[in-house]
């Protein structure tokens, strides 16, 4: 077999090397421009929707919120006492919305849902924002269900009659900076995974309530206005830490059940133990007794006064 050897001059080799370097430089510049464009180009704009409905002020307002994925899910008092307002911002590639108000029944329904909540677990870009402005001065039944997200409710100054709140995973903060306009007959709040922060819940003026958490941290502040009726509250946490702040101006009965030696409990010395319960300023026949039952799981329970 004959082999044809071709001799390449050093000058040709140098020219070829220079050409190759020029191509690599051009390619690097092109890649850099693309990356810069991607970094600097604005994000795809979210779809924004706003709804305003005139309510019937002489009838209980029923509010049903199904906000599955939200980086910001808020409730605020409305400056217009005869109107409910809903604002939504979301990516239509991942989420769909539905807002409906029936004035005959005074029923508001808001939904922000997607195909798979698991895909949106850690990606804020696939979540939307929802803000609901509720009117003060009208009795409200509030029901809210959320899968993943951050919840920030300012409920002070409203007239809430019932509250039902479920959250699978996320951060929940609920405040009552002002007293509830009417007696909150009953409420239940349930969080599976995450943080639960309830501030100035004494201003809720509740009669009965249930608070349940699965895994995470709970802060419960029961400070607020005095009431002239008894209150009954059940608190349960399975794994994590619970910090409960009690009012000093109320007679209190406290009952705690724990998971053997797996629960660390810290109670203030002002409590007097009688049988299986603890009492503070509570005498027989106290008309405005705050009765708190705590079921503590694996973790730490800290109880103190405001």
Structure confidence at residue 262 (pLDDT): 81
Integer Cα distance of 264 and 293 in angstroms: 16
Structure confidence at residue 47 (pLDDT): 93
CA atoms lying within 13 Å on the CB side of residue 285 = 0
Structure confidence at residue 123 (pLDDT): 58
pLDDT in tens, 128-158: 899 999 999 899 999 999 988 899 999 999 9
Structure confidence at residue 20 (pLDDT): 40
Q: Which residues of the chain, if any, have pLDDT below 70?
A: 1-44, 116-126
Structure confidence at residue 287 (pLDDT): 87
Structure confidence at residue 19 (pLDDT): 43
Structure confidence at residue 286 (pLDDT): 83
pLDDT in tens, 233-259: 999 999 999 999 999 999 999 999 987
pLDDT in tens, 84-111: 999 999 989 889 999 999 999 999 999 9
Which residue matches tokens 């708190």?
292
Integer Cα distance of 56 and 53 in angstroms: 10
Tokens encoding 141? 């039944």
E strands, 68-177, where? 69-78, 83-90, 95-102, 107-114, 128-135, 139-154, 159-175
Of 265, 275, 274, nearest to 244 by C-alpha is: 265
Q: Which CATH class is domain 47-305?
A: mainly beta
Structure confidence at residue 34 (pLDDT): 36
Predicted TM-score of the model (pTM)? 0.83
Structure confidence at residue 44 (pLDDT): 61
Structure confidence at residue 124 (pLDDT): 57
In degrees and rounded to multiples of 5, residue 46 shows phi and psi of -80, 155
């Amino acid at each position: 077999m004959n082999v044809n050897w071709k001799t390449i001059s050093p000058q040709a080799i140098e020219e070829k090397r220079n050409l190759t370097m020029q191509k690599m430089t051009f390619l690097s510049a092109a890649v850099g421009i693309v990356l810069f464009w991607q970094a600097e180009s604005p994000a795809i704009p979210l779809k924004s929707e706003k709804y305003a409905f005139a309510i019937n002020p002489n009838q209980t307002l029923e509010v049903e919120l199904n906000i599955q994925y939200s980086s910001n899910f808020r409730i605020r008092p409305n400056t217009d006492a005869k109107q409910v307002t809903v604002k939504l911002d979301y990516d239509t590639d991942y989420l769909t919305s539905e807002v409906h108000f029936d004035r005959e029944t005074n029923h508001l329904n808001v939904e922000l849902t997607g195909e798979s909540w698991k895909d949106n677990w850690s990606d804020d870009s696939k979540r939307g924002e929802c803000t609901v402005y509720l009117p003060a001065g009208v009795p409200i039944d509030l029901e809210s269900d959320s899968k993943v997200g951050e919840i920030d409710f300012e409920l002070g100054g409203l007239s809430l009659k019932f509250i039902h709140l479920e959250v699978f995973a996320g951060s929940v903060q609920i405040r009552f900076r002002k007293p509830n306009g009417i007696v909150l007959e009953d409420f239940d709040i349930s969080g599976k995974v995450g943080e639960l922060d309830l501030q100035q819940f004494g201003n809720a003026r509740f009669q009965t309530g249930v608070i349940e958490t699965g895994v995470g941290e709970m802060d419960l502040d029961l400070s607020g206005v005095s009431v002239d009726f008894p209150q009954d509250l059940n608190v349960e946490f399975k794994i994590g830490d619970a910090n409960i702040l009690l009012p000093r101006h109320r007679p209190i009965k406290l009952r705690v059940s724990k998971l053997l030696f797996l629960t660390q409990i810290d109670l203030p010395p002002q409590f007097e133990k009688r049988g299986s319960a603890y009492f503070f300023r509570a005498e027989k026949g106290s008309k405005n007794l705050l009765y708190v039952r705590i079921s503590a799981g694996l973790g730490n329970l800290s109880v103190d006064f405001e």
